[in-house]
Amino acid sequence: MTVSKLKRLAEENNQVCVTISLNTHRTHPDNLQDEIVLKNLISDAKERVTSEFGKRDEAGKVLEKLDELDKKVDINQLLDSLHIFISAETMEIVRSIWSVEENSVFVDEQFMIKPLIKLFNRSREYLILQLSQNKTQLFKAYDESVEEEVHNHVFPFGESPHVATSNIRKSDSAHVDNLLKEHFRDIDKALVDFVLSEDKTLKVVVATTEANYHALLEASTRPEMYIGFIEVNHSGNDNAPWHLAKQSWEVVKEKQIEWVKEAIEEVKAASSQSKLSTDLLEIYQAAIDGNAELLIVNKLYQQPVRLVGDRDFELIEDANEHGALDDIISHIAYEVISKGGKTLFVDEEWISDLGNIALKKRY
């Protein structure tokens, strides 16, 4: 999920915008039920569009796209959830490795983008460094997939030029270790330069032996960019990029739990600086003003509202009420992200002492 796609869907405003989200399955025969669930959700969407807007003009175009939808979804190519966005102008289908709390259909003047915001914040771009003394490769990864191998004036690295030149030197373990560290310093320098040129927040998982990993950390000028390693051996598919990505993603997910806990503590600490807000309207206003640095939300929290002017709203119970905004939370979350802040959706128990939503303000 890219920022540009999120922005395009979040900012689309039409008379009829349909959002369908459902959990799916990767393998047969479990994925056969996905086809049935999707058809039922499409029927539900068509019924709601017809009931609220009739069958003409924009609604007619949306209904046509809904009729074609099941032919455009290949149930054999699904992941863990599916998100569909349809208007008179748009048909966007997004597959995700993250499940949703429940299957749903939303019909409004804007798309329900909360699932995409969750996807955007849970997903991660990172690097995989496949490290050895003979050859070192660098891969760009996104979640559990390798996007591409890096090819530049340095990567992939060939065999180390730092070699013992005599039998005596080869038998000197300290000298051999120093040569290995020199090689790892060269690799680390090239990797640091690459990260700083691409995105200084990028993290790296290293595919190597435990001994090599710790030697690399000792040689590194920026060890904080390395978040862990995966043991590799040189048999079968263990070194295939797709296999490295599957293993590396588990390291990243474990690290994400730490990052989320640190973010929650950061929001709590904002109280002592008078930068903490747990009032929904105040959070909404801070978000649209660009005063939202870090937003933490209970992942189950939804709140329909009726907007009153540009900066106010009234809480309502029925999201289907005329003029209702289905969920103000997704709009707040997007405002935070679009203005350079960060939004995290977390388990209810992680945020229970703060309520359903909490914001660290910039000022």
Asked whether the predicted pLDDT for residue 204 surpasses 70, the reply is yes
- Of the pLDDT bands very low, low, confident and very high (cuts 50, 70, 90), residue 70 is confident
Tell me how far apart the alpha carbons of residues 279 and 284 are, in angstroms, rounded to a whole number: 9
Distance of alpha carbon 179 from its chain centroid, rounded?
A: 39
pLDDT tens, residue by residue, 130-162: 998 788 999 999 999 999 999 999 999 887 766
Average pLDDT value for residue range 16-38: 95
- Between helices 57-72 and 32-53, what is the axis angle to 10°? 180
pLDDT of residue 5: 87
Decide if pLDDT at 297 tops 90. yes
State the pLDDT confidence band at 320, using cuts at 50, 70 and 90. confident
- Of the chain, the percentage scoring pLDDT greater than 70 comes to 94
The CA-to-CA distance between both ends of the chain, in Å, stands at 30
CATH code 3.30.1330.30 region(s) in the chain: 274-362
Which residue has better confidence, 163 or 344?
344
> Who has greater pLDDT, 262 or 238?
262
pLDDT at 32 over 80: yes
Res 177: pLDDT? 76
On the question of pLDDT at 72 being above 80, the answer is yes
Task: Identify the CATH number of the domain defined by range 274-362.
Answer: 3.30.1330.30
pLDDT of residue 295: 97
Cβ atoms 292, 286 nearer than 8 A: yes
pLDDT digits over 244-293, tens only?
999 999 999 999 999 999 999 999 999 999 999 999 999 999 999 999 99
CATH of domain 125-257: 3.30.420.60
**Under DSSP, is residue 325 helix (H, G, I), strand (E, B) or coil?**
strand
User: What own/partner pairs with CB < 8 Å and gap ≥ 24 does 67-70 have?
Assistant: 69/38, 69/42, 70/35, 70/38, 70/39, 70/42
Could you tell me if 200 and 222 are in contact, meaning their C-beta atoms sit under 8 angstroms apart? no
Q: Is the pLDDT of residue 329 over 80?
A: yes
Q: How confident is the model at residue 170 (pLDDT cuts 50, 70, 90)?
A: low
Assigned CATH class of 1-123 = alpha beta
pLDDT tens-place string over residues 90-122: 999 999 988 998 999 999 888 988 888 888 878
pLDDT tens for each residue of 2-25: 778 888 999 999 999 999 999 999
Of the candidates 142, 310, 134, 175, which has an alpha carbon nearest to the alpha carbon of residue 242?
142
Whether a cis peptide bond, with omega within 30° of 0, leads into 161 is: no
Q: In residues, how long is the chain?
A: 363
Residue 347 to residue 345: CA distance in whole angstroms: 7
Share of the chain above pLDDT 90, in %: 74
Span(s) in the chain for CATH 3.30.960.10:
1-123
